[in-house]
Amino acid sequence: MSIDEKDLEILRILQEDAKTPVREIGRRIEAPITTVYSRIKRLEDSGVIEGYKPILDAEKLGKPTTAFILASFSYRMPGVQEPLEQRRIAKEVASFREVQEVHIITGDWDILIKVKARDVAAIGRFIIDKLRTIGGIEKTVTCMVFDTAKETLDILL
């Protein structure tokens, strides 16, 4: 699927505010409403637009504390023949409600995890009571966030 400049402008507008009416998008990109609607539908059907979700304020919802956790794991567990699968472990980590992001990474660590919780103690409980109980997780390093200058889901277009 090719994406032209009109598609990119539609995506920019939707990233800014996904609730922008099709009529307003059409006015801004100087295109008929039917054209805008069909372009959005094509972008949705092709998977370029994966969905629409509200962006929530974690602090107002009682989860103001953010941490990034680096985790490494043992590829073999005692008594288990098959090596551990990094993707399976990442999916298991991702299943916890506190977890916002899980990335398989290069370097000395295997997985980078972003967590939001009520406070530092809740982050600690998550690491001790949940994360470290996953088979194969060998060690972790936690980086607490003091302040956030930018946090976005937008993709620069």
Angle between helix 33-45 and 5-16 (nearest 10): 80
CATH numbers and ranges of domains, the chain: 5-45 (1.10.10), 65-144 (3.30.70.920)
Per DSSP, the residues of 60-101 read: TTT--EEEEEEEEE-SS-TT--SPPPHHHHHHHHHTSTTEEE
pLDDT over threshold 80, residue 94: yes
Q: Which pLDDT value is given to residue 80?
A: 66
What's the mean pLDDT when you consider all of the chain? 93
| pTM: predicted TM-score of the whole model, two decimal places | 0.86
Give the pLDDT band of residue 85 (cuts 50, 70, 90).
Answer: confident
Q: Is 5 helix (H, G, I), strand (E, B) or coil?
A: helix
Q: Which residues contact 3 (CB under 8 A, 6 or more apart)?
A: 11, 43, 48
Give me 100's structure tokens.
């916002």
pLDDT over threshold 70, residue 81: no
pLDDT tens-place string over residues 105-130: 999 999 999 999 999 999 999 999 99
Percent of the chain with pLDDT over 70: 96
151-154: long-range contacts (C-beta < 8 A, 24 or more apart)?
Answer: 153/15, 153/55, 154/15
